[in-house]
Chains A and B, each alone.
Chain A
Amino acid sequence: MFLERLFNQTNAPELEQMVKFTEARHTLLADNIVNIDTPGYQAKDLSLGGFQEMLGERMDQRDSNTPGATDFSDVMPKATDPNGGVLFHDGQKRSLEQLMSDFSKNALMHNTVIEMLRQQYMMLDMAITEKPE
């Protein structure tokens, strides 16, 4: 209980959820890339804007709740058909450049969030052990 409250009062739950989001989006984008030549394939993506909006609302809720009572684990937008790309003869929109760009941005975001999460855990570790890293 003590540890749960300790973890939930930092930014760690939001960062953990962001890692989950980037990993889920990573899998969808990877599927879109390998199926770039599959006829009739319906691409799927998770909206970053939608996720950030949902996360922002949950963070506002956390401010008014008791510390550690807000759950972030269900903050995840639904997979939708992405906009953009060139319309091909099979009725599907494809753009490898757009896909690779989204993929790289998502990977960078994942690595940034992981680094922030690591810093949070290091700070907690420092506080617990009373020793600088």
Chain B
Amino acid sequence: MFDTLDIGASGLTAQRARMDTIAGNVANIDTFQSNGPGTGPYQRRFVVLNQGTSDDPDGPGVHVQTINVDKSEGRKEYNPSHPFASPDGYVRYPNVDLSMETVNMMEASRAYDADVSMMETTKSMITSSLRILA
């Protein structure tokens, strides 16, 4: 039964990592140079989750497998006066879509809430089991 608390904790860690990634994407929504001059606009990151098993060194539950970079291209806008405009006058924006990030954020938040609620229920079950001894 105590393993279930570990499963819940792994879920909380995974959803928090997901939320951190979303926060990074939203914060960089207007970043035109991701890593110094000539590196192009920021590309959004996304978390890939993987199921943990009981013989996994990280334990059962869920774990962050990788944080991938979304290679899709962001929107292009004609603005020759922009400091990061290409020679033909177009500016490439980061491929971060605020609506999508907001939806993902809500999803991560709900999943986090579900994990917390699951841990609360587990605690009540453990407390109830301990009452047999009393």
Q: Which residues of A contact B (CB under 8 A)?
A: 19, 23, 26-27, 30-31, 33-39, 41, 96, 99-100, 103-104, 107, 110-111, 114-115, 117-118, 121
Of B20-28, B82-90, B93-101, B125-133, the one touching chain A: B125-133
Q: How far is the CA of A41 from the CA of B18 in the complex (A)?
A: 17
- B103 at interface, CB cutoff 8 A: no
Q: Are A30 and B122 in contact (CB under 8 A)?
A: yes
**Residue from the list B62, B131, B132 in contact with A38, Cβ < 8 A:** B62
B41 within 8 A of A: no
B8 contacts across to A, CB distance below 8 A: 30, 34
Count A/B pairs, Cβ under 8 Å. 85
Contact: B128 with A115, CB < 8 Å?
yes
Q: Is the Cβ of A31 less than 8 Å from the Cβ of B132?
A: no
Q: Is the CB of B114 within 8 A of A27?
A: no
Contact B51 A114 (CB under 8 A): no
B11 touching A114, Cβ below 8 Å = no
What is the chain B residue whose CB lies nearest that of A38?
B49
Within 8 A of A (CB), among B100-132: 107-108, 110-111, 114-115, 117-118, 121-122, 124-125, 128-129, 131-132
B132 touches A117 (CB 8 A): yes
> Cβ of B43 < 8 Å from any Cβ of A?
no
B50 within 8 A of partner (CB)? yes
- Min CB distance, A120 to chain B, in Å? 10
Residue of B1, B107, B110, B114 touching A23 (CB-CB under 8 A): B1
Distance A41 CA – B114 CA, assembled complex (angstroms) = 17
Question: Within the assembled complex, what's the spacing in Å between the Cα atoms of A33 and B110?
Answer: 11
Closest 6 CB pairs of A and B: A34-B11, A111-B128, A38-B49, A34-B62, A30-B4, A107-B121
The minimal Cβ–Cβ distance linking A68 to chain B, given in whole angstroms, is 21
Residues of chain B within 8 A of A34, CB atoms compared: 7-8, 10-11, 14, 61-62, 115, 118
